Structure 1
């Protein structure tokens, strides 16, 4: 039964991590019906399986993120360039960088800069947020509020051209501001993807550029957040619990991979309004059920 729970929660994580609908919010809601015992393991599971989803970004965008993917290694033997020759002499290896490599380095620098606000604020307020904001009321209100923001933003952008159609075009100041927008997602139900996409689009990024930069910011942000929580929780899991975590992570990786590919195809032709409507409907349903059951 626990392995079935792991599969279901892995699917939920993979489906929602990179869509602007809040994966944490969905997992909190899912845990009302599906959860593990003890509670400490349940919390650890929800955090660690995010790494599976994050790995899908690394795999899909490996060439864009790897500064050595497009560069060439030049072999120099005895002072002469040589490929597969048998000449004797000193052998030196020199990596040739081209413009694409430099673009990758600029991307990595922007990812580091963009994640700095989340590192500082996350470290300062992580415990307070866990204690006071991880509940259904907060999640539902955040779902509704940012659903309205998404719809308002898309109506505002209708017919307008975007200033930045490639991450390489985004200035450092704007990158840092997007990083601060990402911090809004510290409130459960906001959605890290929604916060960064909204911020990036408000600051002039196209939909695809905003979404891709959101994916890239997720890598260090979620690895750091996961690492922080795991350190606090400890690693004292049984073999069975580790297998459950592994299964959930693998499922979240596979589902997230498919979702990212389909999501990028979707937003090339459509806006984000459907996600705004979904958030509002889900938030209202959750809030209503909370007060009725209460």
Structure 2
């Protein structure tokens, strides 16, 4: 097996890792960077691969929720109050990450090369999740009715509940937006930060999850376009093909898992993910000590 083929197989594997971890609060970026290091996958100093393939997962969600997206776009253009409020909240939540991300991108990318940061962010994030789940004042915002027993299509389930998104206030959206900025630090988890912050701000779990999914669309699109604009000229042919392979794998795997993720977070707490984060953080700490 040639070196280039082996490199592409690693890119394919990491693409599947991205798709399976993007929508659960365990940090897909940490998994990509750590596993990439463990399997000796070198994507270059700018880590364009790790950023761009994440949009493959987001594109899968956009495809699954395409009917709801067209409803949002059409309703906003027609001036429908519920859709205008939804679009307003997405814009408010998107702006902090867009501005702060553009100003701090060099410092953020530098953190990608320091696995010790993952130990802190994974463990602290897990502890915060456990704390939120134990607080009774947040429980009243997270006790959601289970999905209908005959519901196999999570898209229909989401669309039926989408009216609750208009109840999010601009202040709550802003809280989620600034929490998304924290997720720029590798190991924090974008989905975890936005969902948990939404719960703390008083948004029901299922609504916070829905809002997080939709917020990921403009956020990751902007990150992908910006990163490619800055670094496209530095990519060689092998790296470019690897990005395409990883992007496709992330898209396919996300299509498979996203409905299961939606069902899980609608019915269960985040405690299993919290303990997983803490355990993974300890594993990374031991690995660093013995490296």
Give the TM-score normalised by the residue count of structure 2: 0.83
- How far did 1:260 drift? 1.7
1:65–1:108 CA contact under 8 A, matched in 2: no
1:115–1:221 CA contact under 8 A, matched in 2: yes
**Other-structure match for 1:227:** 225
Among 116, 120, 145, which residue is 2:99 paired with?
A: 120
2:260, 2:137 → 1: CA distance?
23
**Other-structure match for 1:201:** 199
**Other-structure match for 2:18:** 13
Q: How many residues matched?
A: 266
More helix by share: 2
Mapping of 1:1-294 within 5 angstroms?
1-37=6-42, 39-40=44-45, 43-67=47-71, 102-132=81-111, 134-157=113-136, 160-162=139-141, 166-235=164-233, 237-293=235-291
1:66–1:104 CA contact under 8 A, matched in 2: no
Whichever of the two has the greater Rg, that structure is 1
Give the TM-score normalised by the residue count of structure 1: 0.82
**Other-structure match for 2:156:** none
Output one character per residue of 1:173-216: Cα deviation in whole Å (capped at 9) or x when no partner.
11111101111112110011111011000011121111111111
Unaligned segments of structure 2, at least 5 residues: 1-5, 145-160
- How far did 1:33 drift? 2.3
* RMSD, matched Cα: 2.5
1:271, 1:277 → 2: CA distance?
12
Which structure is richer in relative contact order (CA contacts within 8 A, separation 6 or more)?
Answer: 2
2:219, 2:48 → 1: CA distance?
17
- How far did 1:113 drift? 1.1
1:157, 1:258 → 2: CA distance?
34
- How far did 1:4 drift? 1.2
Change over 3 Å in CA distance of 1:34–1:105 after alignment to 2: farther
**Other-structure match for 1:74:** none
